[in-house]
Amino acid sequence: MKTLKVVKIGGKLIEDEAKLSSFLKDFAALEGPKILVHGGGNLATEIASRLGYETKIIDGRRITDQNSLDVIVMTYGGLINKRIVAKLQGLHCNAIGLCGADGRSVISIKREIKEIDYGFVGDITEINIGFINSLLDEGITPVFSAISCTKEGELLNTNGDSVASEIAIAMSGHYTTQLNFCFEKRGVLADAKDDSSVIPVLDRKDYESLKEKKIIGEGMLPKLHNCFNALDKGVSNIYLGDFTLLKNDSECTKIGK
């Protein structure tokens, strides 16, 4: 089977124009089918503030009320997505910008209210493999913003790591899938205060041990949960690193079973 590379880029990388440009050059140069997924929470927070909207965060997670959702759709699906697509076109990578509503590509349900009401937040239930394959077969690179859609047509804010991992899982029946998470760190760190303490290979046993000892930061835990879930469900290779991750000699963390 062909290898499909699914790459997720985080908010702080998106905000650094020099690093983003370097990353997009490396992404555009990747051979074979590829998919890019992005968020943009920090910029959405900034724009919401300009508009006079308060952003509520509980336990590191955004509460998405109607005003927040409107800003997220404008920022993720519009401003960030189209800037990235335009830059990729300038690098001769034929990209198309999407959210989950386009082609019913990423279907979700609104998150159930338990202890906290997260508002208009989606949990993914379905990936439209046929639609995504039709784009890849035409040599088109999908660029997904972190927005999903219900079957009834409601847009929902959705974790970008989850979008990337669920797409990689769904496509693993048709491709050998490689999932890459690019963010501000070089990988998973053994010491959160030491950027050079990258763990080269992290398996589940070591992960559980480091989590129990509270060595891994809380912000990294949801990302690693997505990693191990994807590995268990058919994704072949998973890497975490900074904007240089797609370079052959990049230092990074590989997730192992």
Is 41 annotated as a binding-site member? yes
Query: Which pair of tokens denotes residue 213?
Result: 């000892």
Q: pLDDT digit string (tens) for 74-104?
A: 999 999 999 999 999 999 999 999 999 999 9
Kindly report the CATH number assigned to the domain that includes residue 89.
Answer: 3.40.1160.10
Per-residue confidence (pLDDT) for residue 55, from 0 to 100: 86
Is 211 a member of any domain?
no
**Which residues lie below 8 Å from residue 87, measured CB to CB, with a gap of 6+?**
20, 21, 24
Per-residue confidence (pLDDT) for residue 197, from 0 to 100: 92
CB 192 within 8 A of CB 205: no
Distance separating alpha carbons of residues 8 and 39, to the nearest angstrom:
8
Work out the average pLDDT over 63-83: 95
Provide the β-strand partners of residue 108: 124
Work out the average pLDDT over 155-177: 97
Domains identified in the chain, total number: 1
Is 142 a member of any domain?
yes
CB 6 within 8 A of CB 160: no
Is 200 a member of any domain?
no
Comparing 16-30, 80-94, 190-204, the range with the smallest average pLDDT is 190-204
Give the domain range for residue 71.
3-185
Maximum Cα–Cα distance for the chain, whole Å? 50
Q: For the chain, give the mean pLDDT.
A: 93
Per-residue confidence (pLDDT) for residue 215, from 0 to 100: 84
Is 217 a member of any domain?
no
Residue with tokens 């192992």: 256
Q: SS3 for 30?
A: coil
Residue with tokens 């072949």: 236
- pLDDT of residue 211 exceeding 80, the answer is yes
What is the band of 106 on the pLDDT scale with cuts at 50, 70, 90? very high
Residue with tokens 């912000």: 219
Is 147 a member of any domain?
yes
Q: 168 versus 248: which is more confidently predicted?
A: 168
Query: Which pair of tokens denotes residue 125?
Result: 């239930």
Q: SS3 for 214?
A: coil
- pLDDT of residue 11 exceeding 80, the answer is no
Q: 149 versus 11: which is more confidently predicted?
A: 149
Is 40 annotated as a binding-site member? yes
Q: How many CB atoms lie within 10 A of CB 175?
A: 19
Is 213 a member of any domain?
no
Is 50 a member of any domain?
yes
- pLDDT of residue 219 exceeding 90, the answer is no
What is the band of 222 on the pLDDT scale with cuts at 50, 70, 90? confident
Work out the average pLDDT over 140-166: 97
Q: 174 versus 212: which is more confidently predicted?
A: 174
Is 113 a member of any domain?
yes
Work out the average pLDDT over 147-172: 97
Looking from the CA of 155 toward its CB, the CA atoms found within 13 Å total: 21
Query: Which pair of tokens denotes residue 77?
Result: 């699906």
How far apart, in Å, do the first and last CA atoms of the chain sit?
22
